[in-house]
Structure 1
């Protein structure tokens, strides 16, 4: 083959590849543009509505009272929206407003508008399927169906277009002797080098399968749009995927949404910049990562030994899997996940459905066979805390410890075993939504497993140090985001404390338990006489209300005896009971059956079991039979329903008795919740007193029993 013919063949291949790349970029741009346009109609309508509800007098607050707004009101400007829609030139025509004042008014209005924009989120309500929401779902559905592969293909195509553009422009003189003769020797040499570069780049892209990826992405992005009924049905079942695509566009700045600091856990600027610069290869993931999830994975990669303490429902599992997939793409083969038995099945499922990694369970009689396959084939070995006692010290590239607050006690065997594994593993990732429950010192223990050098910067009296100093010190090892900051699409949680008086039989059972000093019996006394139980009566009413609306209900209690009583009272609507004694596989099967029920159903859960590692978003009514000793235990349980993908408002009903320990317990636990907020969440609360830091469950129980004994004695 002559050099000219060969050059033409190479250039032809390059042009065809660039054409395919350009097609994918155009198709992706059109698909994203449709989402941006549909989202904009809803978003800016919400912003305008909010600004129209803000009186013009609020502009004084922005300028600390320096602006007089009475003249504006007299001229017909009643709301901030009206001022935002005006220019300084228009305002200066109003008698009494000069040029400087007009500029200040426009600036103040714009400042309020920006704050509204940052706090406004588009929520799609299946109960109100209006035309704008339908158009947005149709546009998003195209991206959901195309999947993360289309986004990656578009990024790859964009880069390839840029790489091929210059050499294609320079290769012309090498494609024919006439053009080469006219071009001159210098340009002929430049053209020859351009053809060589094109042959190298095109050959590499073809060998890597780029043409096939472009063809697949183009077909997915250009398929006919879904119908109205289809997209609403799809949204009901795949809401998390729809919102994930929308959230990515928010992170990219294509559509309005929350400010970046919230999604980055408000880390110090220098640290956040370091994390953003960390490369993340998510090609091994089969789902799209939200921006805050990608940031969490980058945080773990950049810092190597960290704890992600995101609130329940934000996808800590997928962030950890993204880290493992990245390491696998870099050539690492063996990873270990340690978790409670209750979430072991969930880790297997998530690994298989969200990554291309193999998942093996080191648990039960076949655990050694599973370990052998893992050693031979690579992937993720999922082990329980207990099984670490028999797991050989095989080298792993990364250790993930789920529900890491289980290793907060330095004296416990499982803590020592995890510490040994962490000590010999370069990369360690702790996951927990509850890093501290009663004692801030327990948080120090977890940080000590990861980056012990940070402990020197943390004074022993953390209550005195205060939350701001604490979070600043642990930032290199700890990242936390809250639902309200990053999952702005979630419907609200409505919490209702259902106060009632104990019935006569309830009071008798309660008084007997108080006299015995039996704290647990005091907590169960409201259900001792089912036929006369005030709490049980209210529970039946709540379930009946949910049944009328076709809602699913999950009922939590600390006590199996209480759940047994509730089950007998509710009858056939109960799908089953999850207890701590139930095997992890059986728990997941029961949740699957509950989710599959068409319409109303009730699931009973022992809160220690049902509040951990299960996805209960099929339910949007939660009933707590009694207040818990740890506020985080209640939060975990509620978060199993209020999590990514939930599209209905979650109603939480806590059953309480006025003339019992419930009142004092609720008041005391409010202080514990505030302590957690101060240290584990981002918060500007005042510094906590040292004596509030250490309140054990046992001490709390003793104090409440004594208080109730005194109260009842005084009432006699």
Structure 2
């Protein structure tokens, strides 16, 4: 009876010569393609760095062209005859910098000594300017060079993802194929095989047979197909320019985070500030262990890497970065690092208003499984989380009732908006304290600055490091914010925008998804029953327990604590009135359709000139055009508008020439409401399409399990039915409301 190896050799004998060469060529091509894919992130990054270097030089030249040659006078002294250079056409520092000294020396009235002095001065000034010159994307000036770099960045993002998922199978097959190619090579020549020793012939035939087997493996065919798609995606020129810019505008933070690792969208050179002013000894301990980001989908900036390393090393600490610096993604980086090291269960406790946002961010930025421990199925979901591992997200109000946590081993607890438990006497504080006692690590997140809230800060620290809490001295805060941060460095890390970034994206846009409360849901359902679209759009604000109003209050409070001014836009007067009552005296007024143009400008002037942080409310149609409101650097859109252009025009009131701060845009969105349908209209998608796609995915294993009532209703796509009517019908269908049968309140 022949062995498998003998059978393979026997089959391979008939393929000696040209057929063997074809097998080897095919195997070699696969190995080369696999090798190229694995090296693609490095190759693409090298290309991007060179593109950034060229664009940065162009940015430097543009700045030097704005400087008149007279700027050099302070560097060369009064004796230099710069007027002669200007008359000869050297009118800017760029003109001088780009000319050699001997060229300057040919200008009448400019001697060799002066020419050299002026040339040296131009070089010195150019060097100074270059220190704070970095390339930034300009969506309003879409040059081919910028578009090319965007394409390279898009390819890098794909390459990172592809290599992460394909590295293991690619390396395994390459390691199998490469030695077989060398062993099988003699089989490409009948003459060589004729004169080879028996052992070499058998080895060549055996290797050729094995190569045949590898190439016939369906797994290789699947990998080859994946490579085809990868090669297209890794071609930076294959991306549509319009799509690239659309992706950049909608997700500039991710592109700029990647750009910051390549020498663009730069971070500050002030390393001490980026590390929260901690001492060198603690810094050395924190950075000694590299952060494992293999399970993370996001690109981290340098200060974010340090923040995650800090949380890992210190074990129980507070991350207090200013709003907009990415506290959530730093917490996810810690989870990903610990998961890569074998830890399994992580828990997030947060306000109900941001729970949905956490679930979305986990899915978007990591490979970890997210579980919602909130609502009717929370215990069953909790048991799955305990068995399988991942990140469970629950709320302060639900935490105390979760039985699944009684015996849970938690690798890390994250408490978001940790200032919610500053009062240790509350029930929520008691529940957090209990879970904290069972967690191996704990990280509190709060964007509320603590320097001037010593007692509150001491209470938070007492959960984490009680001994340190007892030593916190209010005198440290009196000295300076830096002194305070140094004193509490073992437990508290905070960076402000000016601390860590010299250039932020002009606009940071955030979708703040909230889960409707029970009261919200009841109000919303009644509006759907009544077929009242306007009430449906306002329902998330009108209940006594509004999730949107709670999230808005949190955004405003954090912004005001950071000294920022806020403008809130809504289509509805009633919503603005509700917000006005909730926010109180920090509101300087409301811009509505009934306010005259002169009065509107007076409100804007009052808002701008206010020495204190303040809030301005505006109907989006009334204040969304024609006003300059650069004093606001936080913009809140209370509900999605039918046209994206309406929102963009409103945002442009703050995001315009003269704005000196990064504009943070928050779009308040309620999950499971008409907001989902409005976004579908904005993005020109089919109504309820994703809902039906999910149902199909769940049931296509057995067509008998599909409920005929769940087939997509024809009216959803019937353009003859007015859009507003279709949206109401879609929501009635989604909620299972049969017109005429639902009791009316």
TM-score of the two chains, using structure 2 as the length reference: 0.56
Q: Secondary structure at the match of 1:383?
A: strand
Mapped to 2, the partners of 1:160 and 1:300 lie a distance apart of 35
What is the SS of the residue equivalent to 2:331?
A: helix
Task: State the partner residue of 2:291.
Answer: 280
Which structure has more relative contact order (CA 8 Å, sep 6+)? It is 1
Deviation at 1:122, TM superposition (A): 0.7
Instruction: Describe the shift of the 1:535–1:460 C-alpha distance in structure 2 as closer, same or farther (beyond 3 A).
Output: farther
Structure 1: how far apart are the matches of 2:173 and 2:339? 28
Greater alpha carbon shift after TM alignment, 159-168 vs 360-369: 159-168
1:239 corresponds in structure 2 to 251
Q: Secondary structure at the match of 2:645?
A: coil
- C-alpha deviations, 1:268-321, integer Å up to 9, x for none? 555555544433333333444444434432332233223222222232212212
Deviation string for 1:511-545 (max 9, x for gaps)?
A: xxxxxxxx999949987999998999428997xxx
Distance apart, 1:47 and its partner CA? 1.3
CA drift of 1:112 comes to 0.4
SS of aligned partner of 1:426: strand
Q: Does 1:250 align with 2:266?
A: no
Query: Is residue 527–residue 533 contact of structure 1 (8 Å, CA) maintained in 2?
Result: no
| 1:454–1:473 CA contact under 8 A, matched in 2 | no
Closer, same or farther: CA 161–429 of 1 in aligned 2, 3 Å = farther
The 5 A counterparts of 1:660-671 are none
C-alpha distance 12-594 of structure 1, shift in aligned 2 (>3 A): same
Aligned equivalents of 2:135 and 2:639: distance in 1?
Answer: 33
1:97 deviation in Å?
4.5
Tell me if 1:68 matches 2:77: yes
> 1:265·1:479 contact (CA, 8 Å) conserved in 2?
yes
1:330 equivalent in structure 2: 341
| 1:296 partnered with 2:307 | yes
Aligned residue in 1 for 2:692 = none
Aligned-partner Cα distance in 1 for 2:185–2:152: 45
Distance 1:449 1:541, change over 3 A: closer
Instruction: Report the counterpart of residue 599 of structure 1 in structure 2.
Output: 645
Out of 317, 326, 331, the position equivalent to 1:320 is: 331
Per the alignment, residue 228 of structure 1 pairs with 241
> Is the 8 Å Cα contact of residues 247 and 291 (structure 1) preserved in structure 2?
no
User: Aligned residue for 1:422?
Assistant: 436
**Per-residue deviation at 1:336?**
0.9
Pair 1:43-2:56 in alignment? yes
Q: Counterparts of 1:16-35 in structure 2 under 5 Å?
A: 18-24=31-37, 27-28=40-41, 31-32=44-45, 35=48
Q: Is the 8 A contact 2:257 2:299 kept in 1?
A: no
Contact in 2 for aligned 1:27/1:218 (Cα 8 Å): no
Cα gap change, 1:249 to 1:163, in 2 (>3 Å): farther
Is the 1:84–1:109 Cα contact (8 Å) retained in structure 2? no
Aligned residue for 2:321? 310
Specify every segment of 5 or more residues in structure 1 that has no aligned partner in the other structure, as ranges: 180-205, 499-518, 543-555, 576-589, 602-615, 624-634, 644-716
Aligned equivalents of 2:284, 2:256: Cα separation in 1: 24
Are residues 48 and 11 of structure 1, via their aligned partners in 2, closer, same or farther at CA, if it must alter by over 3 Å? Answer: same
Equivalent residue for 1:439, pick from 444, 447, 453? 453
Instruction: State the match for 2:574 in structure 1.
Output: none
Where 2:292 maps in the other structure, the secondary structure is coil
Q: Deviations over 1:680-716 (max 9, x none)?
A: xxxxxxxxxxxxxxxxxxxxxxxxxxxxxxxxxxxxx
Moved more, 12-21 or 317-326: 12-21
Counting matched residue pairs gives: 546
Q: Once the 2 structures are TM-superposed, how far is the Cα of residue 433 of structure 1 from its aligned partner? A: 1.4
Measure, in 2, the Cα distance between the counterparts of 1:525 and 1:288. Answer: 38
The change in CA–CA distance for 1:86 and 1:526 in structure 2 (over 3 A counts) is closer
Q: Are 1:337 and 1:399, in contact at CA under 8 Å, matched by a contact in 2? A: yes
Say whether 1:112 aligns with 2:128. Answer: yes
Displacement of 1:497 in angstroms is: 8.8
1:164-175 equivalences under 5 Å are none
Q: Distance in 2 between matches of 1:527 and 1:222?
A: 52
**For 1:571 and 1:249, how far apart are their aligned partners in 2?**
34
For residue 402 of structure 1, report the CA deviation from its aligned partner. 0.6
1:491 aligns with 2:506: yes
Change (3 A) 1:437 1:389: farther
- In the aligned structure 1, how far is the partner of 2:466 from the partner of 2:116? 56
Partner of 2:132: helix, strand, or coil?
helix
Structure 1 partner of 2:600: 538
Query: Which residue matches 2:369?
Result: 358
> What do the CA deviations read for 1:204-233 (whole angstroms, capped 9, x no partner)?
xx99x9988766533421386233333333
* CA-atom RMSD in angstroms: 6.2
Decide whether aligned partners of structure 1 residues 425 and 69 sit closer, same or farther in structure 2, where only a CA change above 3 A counts.
farther
- 1:28, 1:221 within 8 Å by CA — same for their partners in 2? no
CA gap 1:114/1:532 in 2 versus in 1, 3 angstroms: closer
Q: Is the 8 A contact 2:623 2:650 kept in 1?
A: no
Contact 1:619–1:641 under 8 Å retained in 2: no
Task: After TM superposition, list the pairs within 5 Å mapping 1:366-515 onto structure 2.
Answer: 366-391=377-402, 392-393=405-406, 394-436=408-450, 438-455=452-469, 458-484=472-498, 485-486=500-501, 488-491=503-506
Q: Give the secondary structure class of the aligned counterpart of 2:640.
A: helix
- 1:149 corresponds in structure 2 to 161
Give the C-alpha shift of residue 474 in structure 1: 2.8
Q: TM-score, normalised by structure 1?
A: 0.58
User: Which segment is superposed worse, 390-399 or 37-46?
Assistant: 37-46
Determine the C-alpha separation between the residues in 2 that align with 1:92 and 1:162: 62
- Give, in angstroms, the shift of residue 95 of structure 1: 5.0
Deviation, 1:149, is: 0.7
The answer on whether the counterparts of 1:462 and 1:470 sit within 8 Å (CA) in structure 2 is yes
Go from structure 1 to structure 2 and tell me whether the alpha carbon gap of 1:472 and 1:161 turns closer, same or farther (over 3 Å shift): farther
Equivalent-residue separation in structure 2 for 1:249 and 1:163 (angstroms): 34
Which runs of 5 or more structure 2 residues have no equivalent in the other structure?
13-19, 193-218, 509-562, 567-580, 605-612, 625-635, 669-745
**Counterparts in 2 of 1:483-632, with a 5 A limit?**
483-484=497-498, 485-486=500-501, 488-491=503-506, 523=585, 537-538=599-600, 570=619, 594=640, 597-600=643-646, 619-621=651-653
SS in 2 for 1:430: strand
- Displacement of 1:338: 0.8
**Distance in 1, Cα, partners of 2:368 & 2:333:** 11
**Preserved contact between residue 308 and residue 330 of structure 2 (Cα < 8 Å):** yes
Distance in 1 (alpha carbons) for counterparts of 2:186 and 2:31: 19
1:347-388: CA deviation from partner (whole Å, max 9, x where unpaired): 122223333333233334433233233223322222222333
